[in-house]
Amino acid sequence: MLDKSKLKKLLKLVFQIAIAAVAIYFVLGKIDVNEYKSRLFGIDILWLLLAIIAFNASKILSAFRLNIFFTALGLKLQNHFNLKLYYVGMLYNQVFPGGIGGDGYKVYLLNKQFKTPLKGLISATLLDRISGVVALGFLAFILALIGGESYQLLGAYGIVLWICLLMAYPAYYILVHLFFPTFKKVNHITNLQALGVQSLQVLCAFFMLKSFGISEGYLNYFTLFLVSSVAAALPISLPGGIGVREGVMVTGASLFLLNENAAAAFASLFFLITLVSSLFGLVFLNSIKSKTNI
């Protein structure tokens, strides 16, 4: 008989799998599978390598940002240890969906090894996620306004983009002030780093588009990529956003008059880059366990 905690995790996993399955079914009904496969297997390797480098650069900067949140708690981790731990967390997120998860693993390990209070560690990892989503949304609003198509599609409601853009960071700062006061002193630097992380992700997206031979519609692809990343970060999605990311990209492509097959292939390639990059965590897993005796 499963206890309530395990049952809750199991139900969440089943729900996420169902969402992914419905999204994939929807995507398959919208694309030409042969063209999708042709695009995915016909990529330029050099541009792909640059995309992988840009993606991992974003993850390295993200690891440094998380370490600043930990520093605000008085937890001083060496950068190389923190980076290894970050990649191990990525591995847990990708390979063990529905399990402890990358954030849960880091919180557990740091609490056990350094006796840092759980409440602070959970707050740090949660705020790290929130700041990343705020940066994603902020850049998405900017690109949507610059690209023009999103603004036109909204018509009279286009003002919503401006309101969201102007309110994103004031709302975030209020949130931190009210609920996460411990981290007020690191707000500015972590927000700048979050924007840097997402900018590197956009650079990764640019290299991915080049690897497919796409030479136009960049701003629209970037906007969809950022919006799909926000959707993939929601708890309804499996780690990596598989299915959900493709669904958002294909739906947006039809609105922006982009190639739906290319959009689906783009989303799948990003998932594969994330998965392959997370496997670096295998290299560091034993090192982390031996250093922490866990």
| CA dist., res. 284 & res. 83, Å (int) | 9
Structural tokens at position 51 = 């995309």
Nearest in space to 230 (alpha carbons), one of 152, 129, 147: 129
Beta strands in the chain (DSSP E): none
Q: What is the pLDDT of residue 2?
A: 55
Taking only the tens place, the pLDDT of each residue in 91-128 is 988 876 554 578 888 999 999 989 999 999 999 999 99
- Mean of the pLDDT values across residues 65-85? 94
Q: Is the pLDDT of residue 285 over 90?
A: no
- What is the model's pLDDT at position 101? 76
157: DSSP letter? G
Distance CA 232, CA 161 (A): 20
The 3-class secondary structure across 208-233, one letter per residue, is HHHHCCCCCCHHHHHHHHHHHHHHHC
What is the model's pLDDT at position 151? 59
Based on the number of CB atoms within 10 Å of its own CB, is 278 exposed (0-12), middle (13-18) or buried (19 or more)?
buried
Give the number of residues written for the chain: 294
Dump pLDDT digits (tens) for 142-191.
988 887 666 566 666 678 888 989 999 999 999 999 999 999 999 999 99
- Measured distance CA(29)–CA(247) in Å, rounded: 11
Span of 149-163, 186-200, 240-254 with lowest mean pLDDT: 149-163
Determine phi and psi for 89, rounding to 5 degrees.
Answer: -60, -40
Q: What is the mean pLDDT of residues 218-228?
A: 92
Contact present, 117 and 111 (Cβ < 8 Å): yes
What is the Cα–Cα distance from 41 to 34, expressed in whole angstroms? 11
Q: Work out the pLDDT band at 77, boundaries 50, 70, 90.
A: very high
Q: Say what angle helices 118-147 and 159-179 make with each other, to 10 degrees.
A: 170
Ranges of each domain in the chain? 44-292
pTM: 0.91
Q: What is the per-residue pLDDT across 9-62, written as a single tens digit (0 to 9) for each? A: 788 888 888 999 999 999 999 999 999 999 999 999 999 999 999 999 999 999
**CA distance linking residue 102 with residue 271, whole number of Å:** 17
* Residue 65's pLDDT band (cuts 50, 70, 90): very high
Q: Of the segments 92-106, 135-149, 228-242, 246-260, which one has the largest average pLDDT value?
A: 246-260
